[in-house]
Structure formats: C-alpha cells, structure tokens
Amino acid sequence: MIEWTLYIHINERSSIVNKTKDKLLKLKDSFMDEYKRLDSTYYFNSRLIGFLSLGNPEQRAIVVPITANNLSSLFRKMIQEVEKKTQANRNFKWVKVDIAKNFNIQKFRELNLDILKTKKNYFRKGISLDLEFKYALLEQELNGNAILSNVGKSSELAFNLDNLASYFAQSKAVSKGKQINMDDDVVVFNTDSKFIDNCVVALEDSYYEHGFPKVEKLTKKEIVELITHSSDYLADQVQINGKFVYGYFSSFDKQINFYNSLRHASTVYSMIEGYEVNPKKSLKMAIEKAVNYLTHELIRENEWKNEAYVIDWENHNEIKLGANAAAILALTKYASVFKSRIFQPLCEKLANAIVSFQLPDGNFNHVYTYPSLELKEKFRIIYYDGEAAFSLMKLYQLDHNPKWLLSVEKAFDFFIQHKYWENHDHWLAYCTNELTKIRPEDKYFEFGLLNVTQKLNFIFHRKTTYPTFLELTLASYEMIRRIQKLKREHLLTIVSVKELIHVINKRALYQLNGYFYASFAMYFKNPKRILHAFFIRHQSFRVRIDDVEHNISGYRRYLDWLDELGENANEKVE
C-alpha cells in the first residue's frame, strides 16, 4: 500500500512538471519567433539575462534570474529550474518569462536618488544590486514586496531594507543577503515579457504600462469579461451578513479594518450594473445580501419626519449627504433592473432627508449626527453635492414626484452661480446628463460642457489610473450627443468633440494599468485574494471596494459607447 501511494505521488509530480514545462516551451517558441537575431540591447557582458517566474493563485511567485550565452541555452536552463522548483503539492498555473534589455550601470546613490524623486510605486524598471545578476529583482518584485516603500517617508533611502532582506531570505533564488554601499555599482534594466496561463500573452515594455498585457483597442468581448470578473470579485467580498470585506493592502495581504456606509451603497450600485452585463445567479445572491445589509443595518427611519438616514456607525454615527444619495442610487437601480418597487417608499424617505439638508440658496449641508440630527459639518467633500442631485434625478425618473426635480433645479442655480464646473466632478456630469433629458436648457448644457472641457488635457496625460475620469468623460459625451440631436451646435464651440473621444479611448485603455491581471497579481502575497480587482498603485496597491466599483461603472458606460458608435468609437490611441 505504501509503495502504491508513493507511485501515485511520483506520477503526480511528473504530471505537474510536464504541464509547467509545456507552458514554458510555448513561451520559448514565442520568443524564438520574434528574437532570432537579438541586438546588443539584450546583452550584458556578452550574456543574456532572463527571469523565470512561476506562480499560482495561492502564494507569491518564485522568480529565478538566469544568465546564458543565447536564447536556446537560456530556455534550457529555465526547463531545468522548472524541474527543480516544481513539487507535488504545488502546481504552477502561471509561467512568465522576462528577458532583460537596455542596461544602465549607475551608482547605488544615484539610483536611490532617482527613486526618491519618482512617485511612490511608479518606479517601473528592474534592478540588479550586483553585476552578476545574483541579486536581481524585476520591477514587479520590487513593487509586489513593497521594497521601495520608503518613498514619501524618507528623504535619504528609498529602499525598505527590512522588506528587501525578508524577500531575499524567502526567495528560492537567493539564499544569502547582500551588504549594499552607496558607491556600489548597480544595474537598471527594462524587460521584454511574455506570460502564459491558457495562452501566450505579450506584455508591454513601455514605462507606465510595463508588465501589463498589450492592448491596442478594447473590444466588447473584453469589456464584458472585465466587468464580469470585477463584479464577481465584489460578490466574493460579500460576507454571510451582507457586509463587504472592505479591502486589502495587496503586498502583504493586509485587510483594511475600516468601513464606510457610503461606499457600501455605491458598491451595490456598481454590482447591479455588472449584473446588467452578465446576469449571474451568484451575483444576484450577493447583491441581495448587500442590499439587505444596507436596508436593515445601515439605514434608520424617522417616522415622525418621514425621513431615513444612512448611518456611518464606525465614524461617530454620522449621517452623510453622500451616503443617503448613494443608497438612493443603489435602490433605484435595483428597482429598474429587477423590476421591483419594494424599496420605493424607503427611497422617498431618504430623499426627504436630502431635501431637508438643502438650504434656501440651493446649497446642501453635508454631515449630521444620529440620532440628535445636529449639524456636524456644513461642508466635507465636493462630491456629496453632485451625488445628492444625481440621486434625486434618478428617483424622479422612477416616481415622477416634482419635489425632487425642483430640488435639483434649485441646487443647479447654486452650482452655476458658484462655478461648480471648476470641480470637474463625475457625479455632476452624471446629474447634468440626466437633468438635460428632462430640462434641455442651454444653461445646463453649458454647465456640463464646462465641467469636462477644461480638464481634458489633464485627464489625457494623468499618470494615475483615476477611474472617475472615464465616468466623467463618458457621461459628458452622452450629453453632447443630445446637444447634437437637438441641433444646438452653437453650444459645442467650447469643446472639441474629437478631443473628447480621444481622451475617452485613452482613459479606457490606461485604466487597465490598475487591474490585477494574473501576470501582475502573481507577485503579491495572496494572488487569489486580489485577482481581477482594481488597485490604486500610489496607495500601496490598495484594493478597496470603491476602487473596483468606479471602474465597473466606467467600463459599463464604455460598453454602451461601443454599442452606439461601433468601430468608429475605438480609434487607436497614440
């Protein structure tokens, strides 16, 4: 019996090795086809430098730096590494190969200074701390292990030496540490990279997109998959009681121990948008749980005033204008998609509270305290105002109560007088788009145009994956289409529609740099926890439910954009 068990164990190991080798051989063929004649940019001291990354969803990838005289020898050594590294209890689902290029030798002090001057987590090159590449790290290893996390904290050293030492100690490729002196020579390099899960994917080698799949244009199929995966991710974060796991700092799988009732509600809204694209039973069940938590645990009603409030229990029982608005958006979306009016009375009570927060000049107070209903803050954040007005518009479209429309018009009188377009708020873009469906007046169209046009150049060149930019530009474009249909082209003198289209396509592509593809997630502590989520790079690769929801909402509108404009929508972005 013992011998039979051992026999199965050996064969399991052999099968796993062969599967991993097969994936590596497909990558080899792909590289061979393209690099039959490698130029000098790929050689360092007459040697090719490669990196073999082996990963799976359960744990951080193993990365092995390898040097060889030529490409065939490089892959032969990689196959040997596969045989050494593969164990019966570890199946390498993901294989990635990097070939280094564009080497630059500099002093460690110069490199350290360069990194200190770079935005946190935006250093996008590999580093070798020695000239033999025994202590070499890919850009993804540096960022996935928070090795450069001193940026913004220290004016002297960009490297977090504790994280660096810890990673080297745990790495299968390097067993000993290395003393680093400021005058040591180090090597900085780029890579050409390819990744395989089920098929070979070429990865970008440009600075800001480095390491992410090469995508020249987005198809409807790709957008549907993106929305589906992201919605499934959010569904997986819904616990038995309907509360979300709020988020993680990805490098070390550290859970964020905080909660925000506003973001709970707005995340539910985006999940329902995801359900529109792919109506899966599992997603519907998660939505129901999250809605139940919102309506039973986060909302309290005041029967005497016929009002309801979303309570932020973890932040001193705050009632926030934006939270009430987000709840209305979630529940009215629920009504329209699932054809249910069960939450309409609750929405009306939430809206009554918003109207009670409104001042005679149209402005809103922002934060109250429950249960005293004492005013805590007249103003907290600019987004609450647009969110509140947008929610009232969506409720008006559901119940046609003129009370909500009058409140929105009153608010817009204030917004216009105080030039709220200077805030370039995506919620105001949403609201203006809806308002002009009912009140197609020039003053509202002009407000919506000014809200986007002065920001276009900034949005196009923005290097952070700011997800609300896609929402802002797409909502504005939808409004512009209405202007064109009404034949009011005189309004369009203040905006370049062609430029707006160009910006929309750029942002839709660029936001993919904040998405955890397997080819990047594999370098973090717990890949399966973050796979198919969106992250904020400069916030320590934070994955939070609202980071995901804004991307879903943007891409949901982008899908409609592709439906409307077809092939003309997706021009090549340069």
Question: Residue 89's pLDDT is what?
Answer: 53
Q: Which amino acid is at 535?
A: F
Question: Which amino acid, one-letter code, is at 24?
Answer: L
* Three-state SS letters, 300-321: EEECCCCEEEEEECCCCCEEEH
* Confidence (pLDDT) at 302: 96
Low-confidence winner among 90-94, 176-180, 398-402 (lowest mean pLDDT): 176-180
pLDDT at 568 over 70: no
pLDDT at residue number 14: 65
CB distance 122 to 47 below 8 Å: no
pLDDT digits (tens, 9 = 90+) for 210-251: 888 988 889 999 999 999 999 999 999 999 999 999 999 999
pTM summary value: 0.93
pLDDT of residue 32: 82
pLDDT at residue 460 greater than cutoff 50:
yes
pLDDT at position 573 over 60? no
**Euclidean distance between CA atoms 257 and 54, whole angstroms:** 31
* Predicted local distance difference test score (pLDDT) of residue 567: 55
Does residue 537 contact residue 514 with C-beta atoms inside 8 Å? yes
Cα separation of 132 and 187, whole Å? 10
Helix axes 383-399, 344-357, angle to 10 degrees: 140
> How many percent of the chain have pLDDT more than 70?
94
pLDDT value of residue 304: 95
pLDDT band for 485, please (50, 70, 90 cuts): very high
Residue 110, Cβ neighbours under 10 Å: how many?
14
Tokens coding 477: 């474009």
The per-residue pLDDT for 177 is 65
Structure tokens at 26: 């497909």
Query: What span, in angstroms and rounded, lies between the C-alpha atoms of 542 and 536?
Result: 5
pLDDT digits (tens, 9 = 90+) for 4-41: 333 334 345 567 678 888 889 899 888 887 776 677 88
Amino acid of residue 294: L
Helices 497-510, 468-485: crossing angle, 10 deg rounding: 150
Pairing assessment for the beta strands 374-377 and 254-255 based on DSSP bridges: unpaired
Tokens 């932020």 identify what position? 312
| 498-557 per-position pLDDT tens digit | 999 999 999 999 999 999 999 999 999 999 999 999 999 999 999 999 999 999 999 999
Contacts of 140 (CB under 8 A, 6+ apart): 53, 211, 520, 523
- Rounded to whole angstroms, the Cα distance separating 199 from 276 reads 29
- What is d(CA 428, CA 472) in angstroms, rounded to the nearest whole number? 8
Please name which of 337, 193, 196 lies closest in space to residue 278, comparing C-alpha atoms: 337
What's the chain's average pLDDT? 92
| 234 vs 305: CA distance, rounded Å | 35
Confidence of residue 3 (pLDDT cuts 50, 70, 90): very low
pLDDT score of 549? 97
**pLDDT: which is higher, 566 or 523:** 523
Asked if residue 48 has pLDDT above 90, the reply is yes
Average pLDDT over residues 433-437: 98
Given a contact cutoff of 8 angstroms between Cβ atoms, the answer to whether 351 and 299 are in contact is no
Distance CA 298, CA 60 (A): 37
Model pLDDT for residues 244-259, shown as the tens digit of each residue: 999 999 999 999 999 9
The predicted pLDDT at position 169 comes to 85
- At 17 the pLDDT is 79
CATH number belonging to domain 220-568: 1.50.10.10
80: number of Cβ within 10 Å? 11
Q: Which residue, among 316, 190, 178, 235, has the nearest Cα to 552 in the 3D structure? A: 235
When mean pLDDT is compared over 36-40, 196-200, 350-354, 452-456, the highest value belongs to 350-354
Residue (of 513, 512, 517, 511) closest to 530 by Cα position: 517
Q: Which amino acid is at 204?
A: E
Mean pLDDT score, 443-468? 95
pLDDT score, position 127: 97
Share of the chain above pLDDT 90, in %: 82
Residue ranges per domain, the chain?
2-203, 220-568
CA distance 338 to 342: 10
The answer, yes or no, to whether residue 208 has pLDDT greater than 90, is no
Does position 394 have pLDDT exceeding 70, yes or no? yes
Kindly give the pairing relationship between strand 59-68 and strand 47-56: antiparallel
Residue among 481, 410, 555, 513 nearest 204 (CA): 513
Q: How large is the average pLDDT for residues 491-499?
A: 93
3-state secondary structure of 64: strand
Positive or negative CA dihedral for 425, 429, 434, 439? positive
Alpha-helical segments (H) within 439-467: 442-453, 456-461
pLDDT in tens, 49-99: 999 999 999 999 999 999 999 999 999 999 999 988 876 556 799 999 999
pLDDT at position 278: 95
CB atoms within 10 A of CB 542: 18
Q: Which two tokens stand for residue 388?
A: 């509140």
Number of other residues whose CB lies within 10 A of the CB of residue 207 = 13
Q: What is the mean pLDDT of residues 109-119?
A: 96
Burial 317-331 (b: 16+ CB within 10 A, else e): bbbbbbbbbbbbbbb
Question: For the residues 184-198, what does the mean pLDDT come to?
Answer: 95
Residue 232 burial (C-beta neighbours within 10 Å; 0-12, 13-18, 19+): middle
What confidence score (pLDDT) does residue 572 get? Answer: 47
